[in-house]
Amino acid sequence: MDFTNKLGTLDSTIFIVYVIGLLCLALWISRNEKKEGANTEDYFLASKALPWWAIGASLIASNISAEQIIGMSGSGYAIGLAIASYEWMAALTLILVGKYMLPIFLENKIFTMPQYLEQRFDTKVKITLAIFWLAVYIFVNLTAVLWLGGLAIESVAGVDWMFGMIFLAVFSVAYSLYGGLKAVAYTDILQVVLLVFGGLLLSYLALDAVSDGQGVLAGFGVLTEQMPEHFDMILSPENEHYMSLPGISVLIGGMWIMNFSYWGFNQYIIQRALAAKDLKEAQKGIAFAAYLKLLMPVIVVLPGIAAVVLYPTLTSPDQAYPSMMALMPAGIKGLVFAALVAAIVSSLASMTNSISTIFTMDIYTRFKPNESQRHYVHIGRIAALVSLCIALMVAEPLLGKFDQAFQYIQEFTGFFTPGIVVIFMMGMFWKRATSAGALSAAIGSAVFSLLLKFLWPELPFMDRVGVVFLLCLAVCYFVSIAGKPITTDSSVSLDQVSFTTTKAFNVAAVGVVLILCALYATWW
């Protein structure tokens, strides 16, 4: 692979040094694994000893990947600042997850989300959701990250997208397969520092270029003057992108359902918090991640908006971020390219680690319950490798025809997220919910979503998510009431869970709310 095709020698050298350095760091972090082999808690939950700063950094590194940097920047190019609602509303969602959901999960001492469903309902619900999550992680998340990552490498480094995808897969495996979550989480600290630095620098250079060297503030002024429609946070029904971001629904509608599903019940995200040494440490990490989320639109959306002025004739919005890399001076370009790759491989490593966790702990152990800890860790590593191989094969056929990959991911996962949120919300906060009610909500989510998509095509998908959530809620309620009360519930009672948070967490929560109010008041 010739990295010098579009990257200079200095840039290529910096990038190669980064790759080697990260691999060495991951191996050094993993050096303390027990000689007889890591047990499942060590491998899948980093020995339940992650500090808050590692949790917060890893949450963001797992979340911000190719579909975020490339995809959301592309949506910034096409739609504008309104796409930042995904990031800003996620900050508030994280605070709510930290206060009301994390205490329940940590008190139940779970490895995986399906494991909690088994404790609360039964094995049928657990297996159904485990299979669903494995399918989504492999055929939606992994494929999207690999595909967009391959395209980014092709745009920036001049390497064929397929070789780019293979490189990303091999790189993520090389540093995460041996050390498990511990290696992923601690290397994520470096990844996030590089990602934030590179992203802020690119935004600075983009705004400076827009103003012809007059500085950041002048560049931002040019953007708001020339493209005021790109700074509407709440889109009107007349806007051509209203179907993607339907007005006030980003504040009070379906986006909440999607955010709770992603940040509260998504294995590869919540696994970091499950690995905390205690609840307070997990909540501090969540609060740290919330503030990083507030910063993300400056890093991923703003360059996309600036690209409208600098590169108005791009054939695809998803080319915006890679095209902006041309602004980088020699040396810095290699560093920012390393930041982009850092985000991609971090997400790949996080997803494959979660795939291996769910497959091993929720499915494989059901059929092989009495094997050694080393055996389960070995099976987890095999599952991670197999999932990456499948994703490599199906990425181009699944995603090659889509213009804005970020919107594709939201649309597809939106079919299932309403049912997932209903199952967890009812399971956590309503003792009368039954396994039949939970399965009805899961099935109803897909059925109602498909029916509404074809029978009411003009309904924006985010509003559809909200409507389907209410329908699933009703289905779960009536099916549960019609059946016998559940007798298999082994989850911890809410009476034993403390939702009290520290003063520092409460102050951080108020800060997030005030910042969000200021942002939406400014660009309403």
Q: One-letter amino acid identity for 379?
A: I
Confidence band for 67, pLDDT divided at 50, 70 and 90? low
Q: How large a percentage of the chain has pLDDT more than 70?
A: 95
Residue 237 has pLDDT above 70, yes or no: yes
Torsion of CA 301, 302, 303, 308, to 10 degrees: 100
The region of weakest confidence among 100-109, 265-274, 454-463 is 265-274
Residue 246 has pLDDT above 60, yes or no: yes
Positive or negative, the CA dihedral 431, 436, 440, 442 is positive
Contact 146, 165 (CB under 8 A): yes
- Provide mean pLDDT across the span 295-323: 89
Burial per residue of 80-97, b for 16 or more beta-carbon CB atoms within 10 angstroms, e otherwise = bbbbbbbbbbbbbbbbbb
Element (H, E) at 364: none
Tens digit of each residue's pLDDT (9 = 90 or more) over 436-461: 999 999 999 999 999 999 999 999 98
For the segment(s) 42-47+60-400+407-413+493-522, the CATH number from 1.10.4080.10, 3.30.930.10, 1.10.3720.10, 1.20.1730.10 is 1.20.1730.10
The residue whose two tokens read 């609602």 is: 85
Burial per residue of 338-347, b for 16 or more beta-carbon CB atoms within 10 angstroms, e otherwise = bbbbbbbbbb
pLDDT at residue 340, as a whole number: 79
Burial per residue of 113-127, b for 16 or more beta-carbon CB atoms within 10 angstroms, e otherwise = bbbbbbbbbbeebbb
Residue 1 has pLDDT above 50, yes or no: no
Tens digit of each residue's pLDDT (9 = 90 or more) over 285-301: 999 999 999 999 999 99
- Provide mean pLDDT across the span 57-83: 84
Kindly report the pTM of this predicted structure. Answer: 0.89
Contact 266, 31 (CB under 8 A): no
Structure tokens at 22: 């990260």
Query: C-alpha angle 455/418/403, rounded to 5°?
Result: 65
pLDDT at residue 313, as a whole number: 87
Q: One-letter amino acid identity for 325?
A: M
Residue 271 has pLDDT above 70, yes or no: yes
pLDDT at residue 46, as a whole number: 64
Contact 128, 439 (CB under 8 A): yes
Measured in whole angstroms, how far is the alpha carbon of residue 405 from the centre of its chain?
Answer: 14
pLDDT at residue 450, as a whole number: 93
pLDDT at residue 264, as a whole number: 93
Q: Determine the Cα–Cα distance for residues 435 and 492; give it in Å rounded to an integer.
A: 17
pLDDT at residue 138, as a whole number: 93
pLDDT at residue 338, as a whole number: 84
Helices and strands, number each (H, E), in the chain:
26, 0
pLDDT at residue 408, as a whole number: 66
Q: Determine the Cα–Cα distance for residues 424 and 123; give it in Å rounded to an integer.
A: 15
- Provide mean pLDDT across the span 160-179: 85
Positive or negative, the CA dihedral 267, 270, 272, 276 is negative
396 vs 260, more confident: 260
Residues paired with 50 in a beta bridge = 276
Q: Determine the Cα–Cα distance for residues 194 and 266; give it in Å rounded to an integer.
A: 25
Q: Determine the Cα–Cα distance for residues 199 and 494; give it in Å rounded to an integer.
A: 42
295 vs 271, more confident: 295
* Alpha helices by DSSP H, 311-372: 320-324, 332-358, 365-367
Contact 348, 169 (CB under 8 A): yes
- Provide mean pLDDT across the span 134-161: 86
DSSP character at residue 493: P
Q: Determine the Cα–Cα distance for residues 322 and 156; give it in Å rounded to an integer.
A: 6
Q: What are phi and psi of 150, to 5 degrees?
A: -60, -40
Structure tokens at 304: 């996309």
Residue 35 has pLDDT above 70, yes or no: no
